[in-house]
Structure 1
Amino acid sequence: MKLRTRALSSAIIAVLASHAYAAEDAPADDPAASKDKTQLLGEIQVTATKRETPLQKTAVAISAIDGGTLDKERVVNVVDITKLVPGLAATTQGDHGVVTLTMRGIGNDSAKTEYADPEVALFVDGVYAPRAEAAASLLLDLDSIEVLRGPQGTLWGRNSTVGAVNFQTAKPDLGKTYGYGQMEVGDYGHVGLRAAINVPLSDTFAFRVALGQEQHDGYVDYQSPNGQLPSVDSQRAAYLASGGLPENFRAIDPNIYVTSGDKYSSQDQSGVRVSTLWTPTATLSWNLSLEYFRDRGTPLANLMQHPRDGQDFWSILADTPAKLERDAYALRSRVDWDISEAMSLSYIAGFSKFDGSSDFDQDGGVQVPTSFATGSTFQDDRTNYERFRSNSHELDLKSSGDNTVDWILGLYYASEDNSIRFDIPIFNGTPQGTVAWQGSFIQPKETVESTAGFAQATWHINDRLRLTGGARYTHDEKENRGGRGWGWAYDANVPQIPIAPGTIPGPGTGFGLGVGGINDGKYDANKTTWLLRLEGDLSDTTFVYGSVSTGYKSGGLQDGGVPYKGETLTNYEVGVKMTFLDHRLTWNNALYYEDFKDFQLSAPITFIDGSRGLGFSNVAGSTKVVGFESEIAAQLGEADRLNLVLSLLPKKELGTLRYAGSNDYGGLPPCAPESGIGNCLDVSGNELAHAPDASLTLIYEHVFTFANGSTLAPRFSGHAETSSWLSPFNLGEGDKQKAYFRGDFSMRYTPADARWWAGLYVSNFTDEKVRTNAGRTALGNGQFIYTSQYLPPRTIGVNFGFDF
Structure 2
Amino acid sequence: MKLRYSALYVAMTAIFAAGAVHAAAQDPAPQDAAAARKVKDLDSVQVTATKRETPLQKTPVAISAISADSLDKERVMTVQDITKLVPGFEATSQGDHGVVTLTMRGIGNDSAKTEYADPEVAMFIDGVYSPRPEAAAGLLLDIERVEVLRGPQGTLWGRNSTAGVVNFETGKPDTSGFYGNAQLDFGNYSHVGTRATVNLPISSTFALRFAMAQEQHDGYVDYQNPSQQLPSVAQQQANYLASGGTLATFQPINASNYVTGGDQYNAQDQSAARVSALWQPNDAFTWNLSYEYFRDRGTPGMSLMQQPRAGQDFWSALIDTAPYLKRDSNTVRSRMDFKISDAMTLSYVAGFNRFSGKSNFDQDNGVQVPTSFTTGASYQADRTNSSNYKNYSHELDLKSAGDNTVDWILGLYYAAEDNNIRFDIPILNGTAQGTVAWQGSFIQPKETVNTTAFFGQATWHITDGLRLTGGARWSKDEKKNEGGRGWGWAYDPTVPQVPISPDVDPGNVGFNVSTVNDAKYSKSKVTWLARLDTDVGQHGLLYASVSTGYKSGGTQDAGTLYAPETLTNYEVGSKFSFLDGHLTWNSAIYYEQFKNFQLAAPITYPDGNRGLGFSNVKGTTKVMGFESELAWQTESDRLNLVFSAIPKKELGTLKYAGSNDYQGLPACDPASGISACVDVSGNDLPHAPNASLTAIYEHDFRLSNGGRLTPRISAQYQSSQWLSTFNLGDGDKQKAYGRGDISLRYNEPQDRWWVGMYVQNVSDAKVRTSAGRFALPGGSFAYTSQYQPPRTYGVNVGVWF
User: TM-score under structure 2 normalisation?
Assistant: 0.99
2:467 maps to 1:466: yes
Amino acid at match of 2:600: S
Alignment map for 1:197-208 (pairs within 5 Å): 197-208=198-209
Q: Is the 8 A contact 2:218 2:267 kept in 1?
A: yes
Equivalent in the alignment of 1:653 = 650
Give 1:78-117 correspondences, 5 Å limit: 78-117=79-118
Aligned to 2:289: 288
Q: Which amino acid aligns with 2:6?
A: R
Deviates more, 1:3-12 or 1:295-304: 3-12
**Which residue of structure 1 lines up, in the alignment, with residue 478 of structure 2?**
477
For 2:572 and 2:19, the matched residues in 1 are separated by 53
Number of the residue aligned with 2:211: 210
Cα separation, 1, equivalents of 2:701 and 2:439: 62
Matches within 5 A, 1:254-333: 254-333=255-334
Q: Name which of structure 1's ranges 772-781 and 522-531 shifts more when overlaid on structure 2.
A: 772-781
Q: How far off is 1:5 after superposition?
A: 3.8
Query: Across the two proteins, how many residue pairs are aligned to each other?
Result: 800
Q: How does 1:169-188 map to 2 (within 5 A)?
A: 169-188=170-189
Report what 1:555 is aligned to.
Answer: 553
Q: Confirm or deny that 1:15 pairs with 2:19.
A: no
Q: Distance in 2 between matches of 1:803 and 1:441?
A: 50
Alignment match, 2:623: 625
Distance 2:137 2:365 in 1: 26
Give, in whole Å, the separation in 2 of the partners of 1:628 and 1:384: 44
State the Cα deviation string for residues 115-154 of structure 1 (Å, max 9, x = none).
Answer: 0310000000000002232115511001000000000000
- Does the C-alpha gap of structure 1 residues 230 and 780 become closer, same or farther in structure 2, counting only changes over 3 Å? closer
Asked if the contact 1:286/1:333 (under 8 Å) is kept, the reply is yes
Please report how far the alpha carbon of residue 766 of structure 1 lies from its aligned counterpart in structure 2 after TM superposition: 1.1
For 2:34 and 2:390, the matched residues in 1 are separated by: 39
The separation in 2 between residues aligned to 1:287 and 1:23, in whole angstroms, is: 30
Alpha-carbon deviation of 1:751? 1.0
- Secondary structure at 1:213 match in 2: strand
Match of 2:542 in 1: 544
The answer to whether residue 736 in structure 2 is matched with residue 751 in structure 1 is no
SS of 2:239 mapped into structure 1: helix
The match for 1:444 is 445
Q: How far apart in 1 are the matches of 2:25 and 2:350? A: 38
Give the percent of matched residue pairs that are identical in Structure 1 and Structure 2. Answer: 66
Indicate if the aligned counterparts of 1:701 and 1:713 stay in contact, CA closer than 8 A.
yes
Query: How far apart, in 2, do the equivalents of 1:29 and 1:110 lie?
Result: 51
Deviation at 1:767? Answer: 0.4
Distance 2:5 2:414 in 1: 42
Matched residue SS, 2:107: coil
Name the structure 2 match of 1:764.
761
**2:320–2:362: 8 Å Cα contact kept in structure 1?**
yes
For residues 363 and 779 of structure 2, the distance between their equivalents in structure 1, rounded to whole angstroms, comes to: 22
Is residue 4 of structure 1 aligned with residue 1 of structure 2? no
Q: Residue 13 of structure 1: CA displacement? A: 1.7
TM (norm. structure 1) is 0.98
Which residue number corresponds to residue 614 of structure 1? Answer: 612
Q: Secondary structure at the match of 1:111?
A: helix
Q: Distance in 2 between matches of 1:639 and 1:607?
A: 62
Within the alignment, does 1:778 sit opposite 2:775 as a pair? yes
Maintained 8 Å contact 2:20/2:800: no
Question: Whole-Å Cα distance in 1 between the matches of residues 492 and 547 of structure 2?
Answer: 55
Shift of 1:550: 0.2
- Contact kept in structure 2, 1:32 and 1:803, CA below 8 Å: no
3-state SS in 2 of match to 1:472: strand
- How big is each residue's C-alpha offset from its partner over 1:559-602, in whole Å with a ceiling of 9 and x where there is no partner? 11100001000000000001000000000000000000000000
- Contact kept in structure 1, 2:16 and 2:182, CA below 8 Å: no
Residues 26 and 601 (structure 1 numbering): CA distance in 2 closer, same or farther, change over 3 Å?
farther
Matched with 1:44 is 45
> CA 1:15–1:752 in structure 2 vs 1: closer, same or farther (change >3 Å)?
closer
Task: Render the CA deviation track for 1:281-311: whole Å, top value 9, x for unaligned.
Answer: 1110000000000000000001100000000
Separation in structure 2 between the aligned mates of residue 32 and residue 561 of structure 1, nearest angstrom: 61
Change in CA separation of 1:310 and 1:263 when aligned onto 2, cut-off 3 Å: same
Cα distance change, pair 29–329 in 1 and its aligned pair in 2 (3 A): farther
Residue 499 (structure 1) aligns with: 500
Q: 2:423 maps to which residue?
A: 422
Shift of residue 609 of structure 1?
A: 1.6
Supply the AA of the counterpart residue of 2:105: R
Distance (whole Å) between structure 2 residues aligned to residue 30 and residue 327 of structure 1: 39
- Structure 2 unaligned blocks of 5 or more: none
Instruction: Give the aligned partner of residue 237 of structure 2.
Output: 236
Q: How far off is 1:4 after superposition?
A: 3.1
3-state SS of 2:375 partner = coil
Local SS of the residue matching 2:240: helix
1:638 shift after superposition? 1.2
- Aligned mate of 1:726, from 723, 728, 733: 723
Q: Deviations over 1:419-466 (max 9, x none)?
A: 000000000000100111001000000000000000000000000000
Equivalent residue number for residue 575 of structure 2: 577
Give me the whole-angstrom Cα distance separating, in 1, the residues matched to 2:659 and 2:136. Answer: 28
Instruction: Tell me the amino acid that sits aligned with residue 79 of structure 1.
Output: Q
Is the Cα–Cα contact under 8 Å of residues 191 and 215 in structure 1 kept in the other structure?
yes
3-state SS, counterpart of residue 320 of structure 2: coil
State the shift of 1:606 in Å: 0.4
Q: For 2:539 and 2:34, locate their aligned partners in 1 and report how far apart those are by CA, in whole Å.
A: 31
Structure 2 CA distance for aligned equivalents of residues 589 and 681 of structure 1? 38
Shift of 1:12: 1.6
Contact conserved, 1:670 with 1:678, CA < 8 A, in 2? Answer: yes
Q: What does residue 565 of structure 1 align with?
A: 563
Contact 2:500 2:506 (C-alpha < 8 Å) held by counterparts: no
Contact 1:23 1:177 in 2 (8 A): no
What residue number does 1:600 align with?
598
Q: Which residue of 1 aligns with 2:799?
A: 802
- Counterpart AA for 2:424: D
Shift of 1:403: 0.1
Cα shift at 1:38? 5.2
Shift of residue 541, structure 1, vs aligned partner = 1.2
Query: In 1, are the aligned partners of 2:24 and 2:752 still within 8 Å (CA)?
Result: no
Deviation at 1:263, TM superposition (A): 0.3
Q: Residues of 1 paired with 2:246 and 2:61: CA distance?
A: 69
Q: CA deviation at 1:775?
A: 0.3
Structure 2: distance between partners of 1:19 and 1:136? 25
Partner of 1:686: 683
Secondary structure of 1:82's match?
A: helix
Q: Is the 8 A contact 2:142 2:170 kept in 1?
A: yes
CA drift at 1:21: 2.3
| CA–CA distance in structure 2, aligned partners of residues 26 and 514 of structure 1 | 74
Shift, 1:542, TM fit: 1.2
Q: Who is 1:740 aligned against?
A: 737
Which is further off, 781-790 or 620-629?
A: 781-790
Mapped to 1, the partners of 2:217 and 2:20 lie a distance apart of 28
Aligned-partner Cα distance in 2 for 1:36–1:655: 52
Give the conservation status (yes or no) of the 8 Å contact 2:111–2:118: no
> Secondary structure at 1:153's aligned position in 2?
coil
Matched, 1:434 2:435: yes
Alpha-carbon distance in 1 for matches of 2:732, 2:245: 36
| Aligned residue type for 1:732 | G
Alignment partners' CA distance in 1, 2:487 and 2:234: 38
For 2:147, give the aligned amino acid.
E
Shift in alpha-carbon separation, 1:192–1:34, aligned structure 2, 3 A? farther
Structure 2: how far apart are the matches of 1:70 and 1:324?
26
Aligned counterpart, 1:409? 410
- Mapped to 1, the partners of 2:194 and 2:186 lie a distance apart of 9
Cα deviation code 1:374-422 (max 9, x no counterpart): 0001000000000000000000000000000000000000000000000
Is contact 1:32-1:180 (8 Å) kept?
no
What stretches of structure 1 of length at least 5 have no aligned partner? Answer: none
**Partner Cα distance (1:496, 1:35) in 2:** 66
Deviation of 1:113 after TM superposition, in Å, equals 1.2
How well do the aligned residues superpose, as a CA RMSD in angstroms?
1.2
* Matched-pair contact (CA < 8 Å) for 2:40–2:582: no
In the alignment, residue 764 of structure 1 is paired with which amino acid? N
